Amino acid sequence: MTPKVSVSMITYNHEQFIAEAIEGVLMQETEFDIELLIHDDASTDRTADIVREYEAKHPDIIKPIYQTENQYSQNPRKPGLTNMERAAGEYLALCDGDDYWTDPKKLQKQVEFMEKHPECSLCGHPVRIVDVEGNWDNESYSPKTPNPELFDLKKWLELGYCIQTCSVLYRRKLASPMPEWYWRIPFGDIGLQAHLAQQGLLGYLPDVMADYRIHTGGVSQSVMSLSPIDKLILCWRIIRRAMPTRYRYLCDFQLAWSLDTKRRYLQHERRHLSALCLRLQSLYYDDGRVVQDIGWLHFREGRRIHAAVYGMIAFARKPTSLGGLRLVTRCFGKPTPSGAE
């Protein structure tokens, strides 16, 4: 039978998490059929093997693609669009291979909401933030609300991307074809919501029904050279050009916030560097013996480069003492001068 909901799961090197993500989909209790479209983006760990095990058990639900060449590195939008093009469901739900759903009624609740609100193009909900082990700090990644809400484009721009990806379910036909600017945007989830917010209202349910995992690596680790804040700035610049003129001032607010965040980050980095320079300066003018002792501590712990730097500072502070020079020569394996302390 034709599924009513297609679930798009992009995964790359999620060996530690992919089983939990798949189980979160398989546990869904629905009155309709679903399909799980897994796009393994040429993982180098055991992710593909784990997916194959689940495929063998659930061939009627799980429909994977095993890439032999990483598609994300060619264009970050390719894996998601590949799954979008092969989806058969009226609705498309999103869950990356390192996130997971926690409510077995999640899809049923979202579809029922969308059926009651044909003016909606997308439906989301709050999620929890968890670490690698699944621990969480009782904080929601996206805002909580006591009742279901509807956002229009203006409200979404004011909030500035409040719907986390693993909570999203949307009407597939409204996202095809995607606009040209979508291929250039660094964060596809923000671009998708910006596009769908122009096609209809965005629904937001009060229930926390998924966990968003924070960790290094995975799908969200971009091969692009831009920092995360620079990508966000680029996102809002692209979205601004795609928005109706009357709403561009709201994009300017988001741009201003992003630029201010970058400014504060750079100020923090400069303060950290200044503090480091002052510390080195104070060491230089401190007693040479103290600096020398710190250097030997680094040497005993195997940090020879650090030890050599402290040795040179000690020798420059007190050239008549050969202790600093002895430390430097020991670091580089040279003979110790006779008479050195």
Q: Read off the pLDDT of residues 188-197 as tens digits, 9 standing for 90 and up.
A: 999 999 999 9
230 shares its domain with 320: no
Q: Read off the pLDDT of residues 233-263 as tens digits, 9 standing for 90 and up.
A: 899 999 999 999 999 988 898 888 888 877 7
Q: Measuring CA to CA, which residue among 80, 100, 104 is closest to residue 92? A: 80
Q: Read off the pLDDT of residues 60-100 as tens digits, 9 standing for 90 and up.
A: 999 999 999 999 988 888 999 999 999 999 999 999 999 99
Whether the link from the prior residue into 177 is cis, omega within 30° of 0, is: yes
Q: Which residues are paired to 100 by β-bridges?
A: 211
16: left (phi over 0), alpha (psi -120 to 50) or beta: alpha
Predicted confidence (pLDDT) at residue 150 exceeds the cutoff of 70: yes
181 shares its domain with 160: yes
Asked whether residue 325 is assigned to any structural domain, the reply reads yes
Number of structural domains found in the chain: 3
76 shares its domain with 166: yes
Q: Are 292 and 279 in contact (CB under 8 A)?
A: no
Asked whether residue 339 is assigned to any structural domain, the reply reads no
What own/partner pairs with CB < 8 Å and gap ≥ 24 does 273-282 have? 280/313
Asked whether residue 275 is assigned to any structural domain, the reply reads no
Q: Which residue type does 68 have?
A: T
Asked whether residue 279 is assigned to any structural domain, the reply reads no
Predicted confidence (pLDDT) at residue 128 exceeds the cutoff of 80: yes
Asked whether residue 137 is assigned to any structural domain, the reply reads yes
The CATH number that applies at residue 124 is: 3.90.550.10
State residue 317's pLDDT score. Answer: 64
Q: What percent of the chain stands above pLDDT 70?
A: 79
Among the candidates 151, 184, 214, a domain finishes at: 214
Phi, psi (5° rounding) for residue 140?
-95, 135
194 shares its domain with 311: no
Where does the pLDDT of residue 225 fall: very low under 50, low under 70, confident under 90, or very high at 90 and above? low
124 shares its domain with 21: yes
Buried b (16+ CB within 10 A) or exposed e, 72-101: beeebbbbbbbbbeebbbbbbbbbbbbbbb
192 shares its domain with 245: no
197 shares its domain with 228: no
Sign of CA dihedral 113, 116, 117, 118: positive
185 shares its domain with 67: yes
Where does the pLDDT of residue 56 fall: very low under 50, low under 70, confident under 90, or very high at 90 and above? very high
The average confidence (pLDDT) of the chain is: 84
d(CA 17, CA 215): 11
* Residue ranges in 221-247 assigned as alpha helix (H): 228-242
Q: Which has the minimum average pLDDT: 134-143, 150-159, 181-190, 277-286?
A: 277-286
Asked whether residue 177 is assigned to any structural domain, the reply reads yes
244 shares its domain with 199: no
Asked whether residue 273 is assigned to any structural domain, the reply reads no
d(CA 59, CA 112): 27
Asked whether residue 190 is assigned to any structural domain, the reply reads yes
Total-model pTM: 0.75
C-alpha distances (whole Å) from 179 to each of 81, 184, 185, 191, 238 are 12, 10, 11, 10, 12
- Strand order of the β-sheet with 120-124 is 62-66, 34-40, 5-11, 91-94, 169-171, 120-124, 201-204, 149-151
257 shares its domain with 298: no
Which of 118-127, 248-257, 271-280, 283-292 tops mean pLDDT?
118-127
84 shares its domain with 233: no
d(CA 106, CA 170): 13
Q: Which residue type does 298 have?
A: H
Domain that holds residue 26: 5-214
